[in-house]
Chains A and B, each alone.
Chain A
Amino acid sequence: MKKELMDILACPMCKGDLELSIEAEDEKGEVVVGSLYCGKCDLQYPIDDGIPNLLPPELRQSSD
């Protein structure tokens, strides 16, 4: 995931801001593993293999 796209990213539920935590980046500086956190909803959205999972919690696959 490209970090510069954080500017337009929002929580899919409340549309509020998300906080990015990075666990691993690739050579281009893109986030490969990490998470996005919405403080208002108290929800964490995982980033796995470069793809943030921003599905509503009830639709998420058992990736966590």
Chain B
Amino acid sequence: MSENQIFEDGAEEYDEWFSEHWFAYKSEVRALGTFIPKNRKGLEVGVGTGRFAVPLGIQIGVEPARAMADIARKRGITVYEAKAEELPFDNASFDFILMSTTICFLHNPMQALQESARVIKSGGNIIIGMIDSDSFLGKVYDLKKKNSKFYRYAHFYSVNPVLEWVRKLGYGHIRICQTIFKNPEKITAIEPVKDGYGSGCFVVISAQSLRL
């Protein structure tokens, strides 16, 4: 089964993960919310089924898998079927861009971040949510990858290379927070959000576009 076909055929199954891991999901939303600007025009790249866009108040999304996009649209998101590496928007169209658990699925994350830099207004932010490959969960996912329908083609990154990419692209004012400090299968309450990275499985990086 091709990489894209997995998300076409498995959209509902993928979406169910969030219901089955409610506290992990809510912890991720809370961590992302720390850096999402209020009352600004945002875009989520890799919007999936809209599980992050909806609670975070993001109205526009890009998603290459049609079956996922259909679910996001039913949740009220304006969705475009498009690739992160080739965004269908004019320069400086958005105040911020969110990419949550997206980078691990991209063929060319650096190109996608460059496209985001083009589409974000000067002074706007990119917010990246990711599973840290150095965390215990990152290591478990990496080990289980071969047998996982959705993660078979994923590439999990640690925080440092992602920070290098955003710096290279001219972003500054970098802020980082983290959450999910226990096995998501066993969480029974929303996890705290802490500054920095290194102990949480889910890391959020916010960086400001400093283009003039």
A residues adjacent to B (C-beta < 8 A): 1-2, 5, 7-13, 15, 18, 49-56, 59, 61, 63
| B contacts with A: majority SS | mixed
Instruction: Say yes or no: B66 contacts A54, CB within 8 Å.
Output: no
Instruction: Evaluate whether A54 and B81 lie within 8 angstroms (CB atoms) in the complex, with A12-B86, A12-B88, A61-B66 already known.
Output: yes
Instruction: Say yes or no: B83 contacts A12, CB within 8 Å.
Output: yes
Q: How large is the interface on B (under 10, 10 to 19, 20 to 34, 35 or more residues)?
A: 20 to 34
| A contacts with B: majority SS | loop
The segment from B26-34, B72-80, B179-187, B188-196 that touches chain A is B72-80
B residues adjacent to A (C-beta < 8 A): 4, 8, 60, 64, 66, 69-70, 73, 78-83, 86-91, 93-94
B93 smallest CB distance to A (angstroms): 4
Instruction: Say yes or no: A51 contacts B90, CB within 8 Å.
Output: no
Most-contacted residue by chain A among B69, B87, B89 (CB, 10 A): B89
Contact of A8 among B64, B66, B93 (CB under 8 A): B93
Instruction: Say yes or no: A9 contacts B79, CB within 8 Å.
Output: no
Instruction: Say yes or no: A51 contacts B70, CB within 8 Å.
Output: yes
Instruction: Say yes or no: B64 contacts A51, CB within 8 Å.
Output: no
What is the CA–CA distance of A59 and B91 in the complex, to the nearest angstrom? Answer: 23
Instruction: Say yes or no: A52 contacts B80, CB within 8 Å.
Output: yes
Instruction: Say yes or no: B89 contacts A13, CB within 8 Å.
Output: no
